[in-house]
Each structure stands twice: as structure tokens, then as C-alpha cells.
Chain A
Amino acid sequence: MTPERAETLEWLMQRVSAMVLAVCVIVHLAVIVIAVQGGVTSKEIVARVGGSVPWLAFYSVFVIAVALHAPTGLRNILREYTSLGRRATHWIMAAVCVLILVMGFRAVVGLYGLGA
């Protein structure tokens, strides 16, 4: 793959994942607003999300979208504010992607497990 094609596909991936994120954030905020009516407890959260396959799927998509979206943006910022080259920022981008996936899935799977 040429660097031009790779960079353009990364750009496209950031835009597509941003669209997914926009939907995810709206759902996420709506659930928060509804859930806090009359106070919220950890028990309630576990009762709703724990062991639920649809919620597992939703938060998995959310995590993957963030993992695809944020590293590209961070890479652009690094390129503009530091003198790091294409190669270095590429590896930093990959590392941030893995970090978000690990942290995100640790939370998502952990919460699912609590209700199973």
C-alpha cells in the first residue's frame, strides 16, 4: 500500500468512526439522563448492563470506534506540535489504539461479567 493510500484511508476511518461515535455518545447521554432520574446506584447499573448481550455489543462498538478515531487525531496533533516523522507517529498511533482497546474492553467485559 502506498503511503498516500494508507493516510487517506486512515483519514476516512477517522470520519466514519466519528459518525459511529456521534450516535454512541447520544445513546450514552440519553441513558445517563434516564438512569439518574431518582438517583443511580452501582447495583442498578450492574442490573441493567451486566450480563446483557445487547449492551455488551453496544459498548464494544463504542470502544472500537474510539480506538479507531482518537489515535489518528492524536497523530495529527503530534505531527503539528513536534518534529516526529511519519514513522514515529505511526507507531505511537498504533500503541494508543491498542491501549484504548485494552482499557476499553477491560471495562466492558468486566461489567458484563458482573451480571453473568
Chain B
Amino acid sequence: MSKDSLTVEIWRGREEGRFDTFEVPRMASQTVLDIVTYVQRNLDPGLSYRFACRVGVCGSCAMTVNGKPRWTCRTHVDKVADEGTLRIQPLKNMPVIRDLAVDMTEFFEKWTKAKAHFVPTTTRHDDFAQVSPSDPKRKEATAGIECINCGVCYSACDTVAWLGDYLGPAALNRAWTLHNDVRDGGQSDRIKAIAGTGGCQACHSHQSCFELCPKHLNPTASIAGLKRATAKAALKGEI
């Protein structure tokens, strides 16, 4: 290994597999996705991985980089290859399809299970809803709204690993933004969907999700909000 190149270990296979080692030339401002793309285009065309936008918008490029989940298109090699090596693996807590591509079906099914979708209460014939940006509920929603569904938090969460039916930080974070959306009509169904076994109470507030979310969202805080909301609903007998 020289200063002009980087030793990269990349996971190959499914749950069972091996690491393949490659030497990749270093470049200025190189991202982890650049490295993977270099390997696929120049060294091993059989390498499977997923990306689309390359600018941190689509949420499809997340992988485990030196043990931690990252959005690879916006992760600079300089920041993560501290020992001069890079070990790239698929995301944890999701079944591996092949190499670095994981099956995100369950991740998204849990969004559906958490009823983390908008339920409209008006039609196109009604006037626009007026929501002030300084409204406290709107502020809560705004704080969590920029999620790109990358699965980094879900992959970082130990509770997801331990408790198979735990809905996970991303789906619960989305449920919290909708909980604070005054236009939404699905409130009582949603509160019920996110309470109980596998729901928001299962979160241990480890904050790995908060630490690693590339959009700097705080799912732990959103889940804490849901815990309070479900507790109120349970006391009132609404769930």
C-alpha cells in the first residue's frame, strides 16, 4: 500500500461470503461511493451495489464502512479511512441480496405497519391549509422531515437487531412528524400502530440512530415524543 492508493476490502456474497481485497488509486475529495464505483468499473464488473443520485438525496447508497453505516456518496474517504484501509460491507439488520446490495423490503414494510403515511382530510377543491412555521407542532415536524429513507439509523440500531418486530427509528421518526401534522387525519390509528410490542416503547434511547443519521435528524427525540403521546393516549383509554 502506498500513499497514492488505498487497500479496500469489500464484502462478496450473501450472508455467507468473503472479503475481496482491491488496491484503488487515491484522488482528491474521493468518496466511498467513488471507491466502490472504481472497483466495479475497473477491477471487478461483477460487484453489486446500489446508488442513484450521488448527491445525498435518494438514500440508496448506504453501506457499512469500517463498521459503521454511512451514506457512501457523501462520505469522504479521508474521514473514515483512518488506518489507511477501508472495509466496506452491506448494511446490517437487512438481508443481503448480493455483495453490497441489501433487501430493504422489511424496512419499508415497517413504515406501512407504523402507518407512517399521510392521511388527507381535505380534497383538491378545498383551500390550502395555513400552517405557521413558528407553530410548536410544525417545528417538531420540521425537525424530523428531511429523512431520505437511507436505512442508516435502522442498520445502526441494536434494538432492531435484538427485537425482530421493532419498527425502528426511521418509521417511528416519520410517524412523529405526521403526529405533529395538523392536516393529517390518521392520528388515532397511528398512535395505536406505534404503541406496544415492537413499538416506540421498545427503544432504549441508545442514540446510535441520532449519532449516525446523515441528515442529522434525531429519531431518539422523535421516539421520546411518541412515548409521551402514547402514554397520554393509554391513560385516557384511547388506544
| B163, B195, B199, B233 pick with most chain A CB within 10 angstroms | B195
Query: Interface-forming stretch among A25-33, A56-64, A73-81, A99-107?
Result: A73-81
Selected from A3, A8, A80, A81, the residue in CB contact (under 8 A) with B230 is A8
Q: Which of A36-55 contact B (CB under 8 A)?
A: none
Main SS of the interface on chain A?
A: helix
Partner of A8, one of B159, B162, B196: B196
Residue in A5, A7, A12, A81 whose CB lies within 8 Å of B197: A7
Closest Cβ–Cβ distance, residue A116 to chain B (whole Å): 40
Size of the B side of the interface (Cβ < 8 Å), in residues, is 18
Q: Bound complex: CA of A12 vs CA of B230, how far in Å?
A: 10
The closest CB in chain B to the CB of A76 belongs to B202
Is the beta-carbon distance between A80 and B159 smaller than 8 angstroms?
yes
Complex contact B196–A4 (CB within 8 A): yes
Chain A interface size, as a band, is 10 to 19
Give, as a whole number of angstroms, the nearest-CB distance from A74 to chain B. 14
Query: A residues within 8 A CB of B195?
Result: 4-5, 7-8
- With known contacts A2-B239, A12-B234, A76-B202, A7–B196 Cβ distance under 8 A: yes
Bound form: Cα–Cα A8–B195 in Å = 7
Q: How far is the CA of A76 from the CA of B198 in the complex (A)?
A: 10
Given A2-B239, A5-B239, A11 and B201 contact (CB-CB distance below 8 Å) = yes
A8 in contact with B201 given A2-B239, A3-B196 (CB within 8 Å): yes
1/0 per residue, CB under 8 A from B, across A1-27: the answer is 011111111011000000000000000
Cβ-neighbour of A5 out of B162, B202, B237 (below 8 A): B237
A76→B201 CA distance, assembly (Å):
10
Interface residues of A in 59-103 (CB under 8 A from B): 76, 79-81, 86
Complex CA–CA separation, A8 to B193 (angstroms): 12
Q: Does B97 contact A (CB under 8 A)?
A: no
Answer whether residue B92 sits at the interface, using C-beta atoms and an 8 A cutoff. Answer: no
Enumerate 16 A-B pairs (CB-CB under 8 Å) in ascending A order.
A2-B192, A4-B199, A5-B195, A5-B234, A5-B237, A5-B239, A7-B195, A7-B196, A7-B197, A7-B199, A8-B195, A8-B196, A8-B230, A8-B231, A76-B202, A86-B197
